């Protein structure tokens, strides 16, 4: 894995003339943030030797370098998922690449289903903690000390100071938000009513198919992390309806301007 990262860096570094300060991963239907970036370089994943390629609608699959909110950033316009057939190590490889490029902060976003009965479709949830219900962990395997400790502490995965800044921004702009616990499952199916009840009972407020593997790797590598969910469907008794990937993309795209505003202003305060 380290050799593969070195090959990717060898390809990327001659194409950029600065070290990015912040890494951003844009979830399903949330790629509109790219229009706010003063883009220097845009590289399709498939052009980068050894870089995994996104295969899901709503994830364009480009690595973007540019300026946003006065910060030099690298953004993934489209993330990778475990259900695409990638190993946990492969789908988090971009986060390790970002770390070696020099990022000091990581911002993650996703579309998720709300299991908290106080949530409504279109709400935002700032993630304060998580429950990993996926089939593995992104740190399984031989550990290289250049990546970080073998047994990283997970008591504070999502940085409280960044969370405070983000909540202040949301309040300042009268953006409705929640804070809560995010659970991740493998997908690619949406949950059954019984699974929604189970996820709520064990302490989660929202559920999705991403984010946690990336946050774990960021934590291991010592990168402060912030994560935000857009609630695109509800897993609450009496409010469960049939949902499709198209529905998720459409709802996320409607809420995306609020996500963009929070991220853009957050970057100016980091």
pLDDT of residue 58 exceeding 60, the answer is no
4-13: per-residue pLDDT in tens?
999 999 999 9
pLDDT of residue 249 exceeding 90, the answer is no
135-167: per-residue pLDDT in tens?
899 999 999 999 999 999 999 999 999 999 999
Domains defined along the chain, listed by start:
2-269 (3.40.50.1580)
Looking at residue 251, its pLDDT comes to 85
Cβ atoms of 40 and 93 closer than 8 Å: no
Computed over every residue of the chain, the mean pLDDT equals: 93
> What is the Cα 104 distance to its own chain's centre?
16
Looking at residue 28, its pLDDT comes to 73
Interacting residues of 108 by C-beta distance below 8 A, sequence separation 6+: 24, 25, 27, 211, 214, 215, 225, 226, 227, 228
DSSP assignment letter at 146: T
pLDDT of residue 112 exceeding 80, the answer is yes
**Which of 106, 81, 47, 261 has the alpha carbon at shortest distance from 188?**
81
- Report the pLDDT averaged over residues 113-125: 96
Cβ atoms of 196 and 115 closer than 8 Å: yes
30 token code pair: 């949330």
In our burial notation (b when 16+ CB lie closer than 10 A, e otherwise), range 238-255 reads: eebeebebebbbebbbeb
pTM score, two decimals?
0.94
In our burial notation (b when 16+ CB lie closer than 10 A, e otherwise), range 2-14 reads: eebbeebeeebee
- Report the pLDDT averaged over residues 77-104: 94
Residue written as token pair 């609630």: 231
**Which of 155, 139, 140 has the alpha carbon at shortest distance from 220?**
139
Interacting residues of 87 by C-beta distance below 8 A, sequence separation 6+: none
Higher-scoring residue by pLDDT: 33, 224: 224
Spatial distance between the Cα atoms of 232 and 32, rounded to a whole number of angstroms = 16
70 token code pair: 């006065």
Looking at residue 83, its pLDDT comes to 92
> Is 114 in a helix, a strand, or coil?
strand
């Amino acid at each position: 894995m380290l050799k593969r990262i070195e090959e990717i860096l060898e390809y990327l570094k001659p194409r950029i003339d600065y070290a990015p300060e912040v890494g951003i991963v844009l979830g399903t239907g949330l790629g509109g943030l790219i229009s706010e970036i003063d883009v220097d370089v845009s590289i399709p994943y498939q052009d980068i030797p050894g870089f995994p390629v996104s295969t899901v609608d709503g994830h364009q699959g480009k690595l973007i370098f540019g300026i946003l909110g006065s910060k030099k950033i690298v953004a993934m316009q489209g993330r990778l998922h475990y259900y695409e057939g990638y190993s946990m190590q492969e789908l988090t490889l971009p986060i390790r690449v970002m770390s070696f490029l020099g990022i000091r902060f990581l911002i993650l976003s996703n579309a998720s289903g709300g299991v908290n009965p106080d949530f409504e479709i279109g709400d935002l949830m700032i993630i304060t903690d998580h429950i990993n219900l996926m089939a593995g962990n992104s740190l399984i395997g031989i550990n290289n000390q250049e990546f970080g400790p073998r047994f990283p502490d997970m008591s504070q995965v999502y940085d409280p100071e960044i969370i405070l800044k983000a909540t202040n921004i949301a309040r300042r702009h009268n953006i409705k938000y929640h804070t809560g616990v995010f659970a991740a499952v493998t997908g690619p199916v949406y949950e059954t009513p019984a699974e929604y009840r189970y996820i709520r009972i064990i302490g989660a407020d929202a559920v999705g198919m991403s984010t946690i593997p990336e946050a774990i790797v960021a934590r291991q590598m010592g990168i402060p992390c912030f994560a935000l969910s857009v609630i695109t469907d509800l897993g609450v008794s009496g409010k469960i309806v049939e949902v499709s990937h198209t529905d998720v993309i459409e709802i996320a795209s409607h809420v995306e301007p609020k996500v963009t505003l929070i991220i853009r202003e957050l970057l100016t305060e980091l």
